[in-house]
A and B are shown apart, each in its own frame.
Chain A
Amino acid sequence: MKKFLETYAPWIALLLLLILCVITCESFRIPANYAVMLRQACYTGIIAVGMTFVIGAGGIDLSVGSIFALSGVAAFKLAPLCASSPGGVFASVVLLALLTGAVCGAVNGALAGFAKLPPFIVTLGTMSIFRSLALYSGEAGRVGLNNTPLAALDSAGTVWIFLVCAGAGALILSRTVFGVRVRATGSNEKVARFSGIGTGAIRFQTYLYTGLLCALSALLWGGRLGGISSANDGMGAELDAIAAVIVGGTSMSGGKASVTGTLAGILILTVISNALVAWGISPRLQECVKGAVIIIAVLSQYRKER
């Protein structure tokens, strides 16, 4: 029973929150609004799936928002130069975004994984570097590209892509050799290394996959809006993603990590921000509530451990 509560705490919290919202707000009684909310959750949610692996392996990635912007800008700007047919442009957009995301992730992974530099410092640095590159190549403005098939992707399609990512992530983290090794590395790097696990390579991969997921998220976001803003898009995404992971019950110091928890975490954060609007609370106070939720989540974790 106790274990059940521990495992499903974020889901129970989500359920209670939803009940409260349905009782107090008109807008939560309209089914169509849930589709909107789910779609909102997808973009950060996809990034948070990768972040769960990074944090689970004992790292952190502050550069996800910048990778998001840079891979979007690179893809939308360069794709029309690579191909002329609509199909060719679309293929180039996807490939360029994923390539940029992979390269950014690989840079983080090489420095934090193989060179063993502190992940916080590494990604603090690359956060500035990638954002600055995005601003430079996007001339600090919006880089647009219309009429890609991505624009036709509806709410359901986006949500499905997110759920596939989350489902695959959950399966990989809990049931594969790689997943166990990620958690072992986060739980105690030395034990993992003494057990013959290449911990540098494991960490490298977590950053690489997170880079790819940032790019995927940028594709969905930019495709839907017909472009991406080099200055604003992805700003603060790292905090939202980290918040979702922590609220989902993943331990900040690594080892204990759950993608399904992260899924609940991102839904909780999305419901809260919608509820605040519905309750008529100033948008300026939203961050305040978000901060409080994170602290409460961490507090409950620590109390469990004592």
Chain B
Amino acid sequence: MDAKELLRVEDLECAYGSVRVLSGVSFALKAGEVFGIAGENGAGKSTLVKSICGLLAPRSGRITLSCPVAAIHQEFNLAPDLTVAENLFLGSEITKKGLLDLKTMRRRARELFAPLGVSIDPDCSVGTLTVAEKQMVEIAKAAGANAGLLIMDEPTTVLNQVETARLFKLMAALTARGTGIIYISHKLDEVLSVCSQVLVLRDGETVGCFQASELTPVTLAEKMVGRELNGVFPEKLPAGTGEVRLEAEHLCAPGVRDISFTLRSGEILGLAGLNGAGRTELAEALFGLRKITSGTVRIDGKAVRIRSAADALRHGMAFLTEDRQGSGILPEFPIAANMTLCSLPRYARAGMVSSAKIFRRALEYIRSFRIKCTGPDQLVRDLSGGNQQKAAIAKCLDTGPRIFIFDEPTRGVDVGARREIYDFLRDLAAAGCACLLISSDLEELLGLCRKVLVLRGGASAGFVEEKDLDEQHIIRKATGVEA
């Protein structure tokens, strides 16, 4: 079989500013092939996709494309106020005499949806669709572009098994026509079942390119992680016997239904669940960013009403958000200003801020967290992801919290800084702080927590206690296989 080569990547190197995120990546993709890319968060998969799509100029190396590319990115690229049909043909609108040919667009939309087994009204606006439907629109849009090469970045995260099976059938039909597909997923069994070859990335470097038939999910995971799990995490703290700091009882809020738990001083309680299970929503409700509709929150045994983030800070809470750029830090502000944003009045006398005090405090954090920077005056946007995260943690820490909510603390953080963040978390708990750890990385939860609360569909799916604490138990509860 001598299929045409669609894509060749040679010795690719990419960097954001001074941070190298991808180096020495080479592979080739033939027509009709499904090619997998696997790697942990931050391994460089999305960067690779961006550079193939031409959204990011590589620093060196070569990308040779012999056909048009269409991509389904991890985030939705849909205009919520436009209709489904308008979105599907955005940029390649079908016209008749200069006007949009709505009739043909509708018909083509139905044709595109047919193999996916969905019946979405082409005239409804995309904003009203469910996430799974939006994903289907993305898939239909990419498939309808008739591109020779299709890149799919985590296409099945929001799909159920039936929808996933239909997607795989569509992919088979496309490859039979000679389309090449690059398939990226965290679901390793899926990767191995649809791909012929798998490129494994780790920390921006190629581990190797393997035949899928030679791998099992376990061996693939080993290659991705590339290290024993021991040593990644600090030693766990002894089981919590501290007093109860935070109590939630039958807590309800938009996206959160009837959740109860207790959090002790010195404890790190894990919070697991699939995307959209209500973990961040719960954290936001506790922190006063989401209106609590019913239920009680008690701090140190006293019922409290927290209506804003300012209230939460006053009660000694801190919240490290998952969306660092969107709600955590101000990239255009200096490191020192970011670190003291929550606790600013402490550095002021009669409203006047003392820059010297802020500078000194920032310098202390930079030293203790080993933040790589030129000094407290450097803008946060010029730092790497890991160092930005450390600055964000310093910002939360500066209010002197007794209850600390971490939402995905190591997202987009490189391996070295990750261990430092774990050590910090452990030390914080050892000093008596009550910690709630939200993470999509199960290993992280298993490595740091003695107890994990699993959420599903906004409600509690139960606790996994220490004796049962493993991936299987968490996943079963999160997916609803086991009540």
Contact = CB atoms under 8 A, between A and B. Distances in A.
Interface of A: 175-181, 183-184, 187-188, 190-198, 255-256
Contacts of B321: 194
Interface of B: 287, 289, 308-310, 312-313, 319, 321, 326-330, 332-333, 337, 341-342, 344-345, 348, 351-353, 355, 395, 399
Contacts of B333: 183-184, 187
Given A187-B332, A255-B332, A198 B353 contact: no
B351 A178 contact: yes
Given A176-B352, A177-B345, A191-B327, 19 more contacts: A175-B355, A177-B348, A180-B353, A188-B327, A191-B330, A191-B341, A192-B341, A193-B289, A193-B327, A194-B289, A194-B309, A195-B309, A195-B395, A196-B310, A196-B312, A196-B342, A196-B399, A197-B341, A255-B332
B402 to A, nearest CB: 15
A176 B309 contact: no
B351 A195 contact: no
Given A176-B348, A176-B352, A194 B330 contact: no
B310 A197 contact: yes
A191 B329 contact: yes
B342 A195 contact: yes
A187 B351 CA distance: 21
A180 B341 contact: yes
A188 B351 contact: no
Which residue among B329, B333, B348, B395 has the maximum number of chain A CB atoms within 10 Å of its CB? B333
Given A177-B348, A194-B321, A194-B327, A184 B341 contact: yes
A247 to B, nearest CB: 20
A181 B326 CA distance: 17
B140 to A, nearest CB: 32
24 contacts: A175-B355, A176-B348, A177-B345, A177-B351, A178-B351, A180-B344, A181-B344, A184-B330, A184-B333, A187-B333, A188-B330, A191-B326, A191-B330, A191-B341, A193-B309, A193-B327, A194-B289, A194-B309, A194-B319, A195-B342, A196-B308, A197-B309, A197-B310, A198-B308
Nearest 4 pairs between A and B by C-beta? A196-B310, A196-B313, A196-B309, A190-B327
Chain B binding surface, main DSSP class: mixed
B332 A175 contact: no
A176 B358 CA distance: 12
Contacts of B328: 191, 194
B348 A187 contact: no
Contacts of B355: 175
A180 B337 contact: yes
Nearest to B313: A196
A195 B395 CA distance: 9
A250 to B, nearest CB: 13
B27 to A, nearest CB: 32
Contacts of B399: 196
A176 B353 contact: yes
A177 B344 contact: yes
Contact of A175 (B289, B310, B342, B353): B353
Nearest to A178: B351
A192 B345 CA distance: 14
Contact of B330 (A175, A196, A255): A255
B308 A195 contact: no
Nearest to B328: A191
Contacts of A196: 308-310, 312-313, 342, 399
B289 A187 contact: no
Contact of B332 (A177, A192, A193, A256): A256
B14 to A, nearest CB: 19
B326 A190 contact: yes
Contacts of B344: 177, 180-181
Contact of A176 (B312, B326, B351): B351
A302 to B, nearest CB: 14
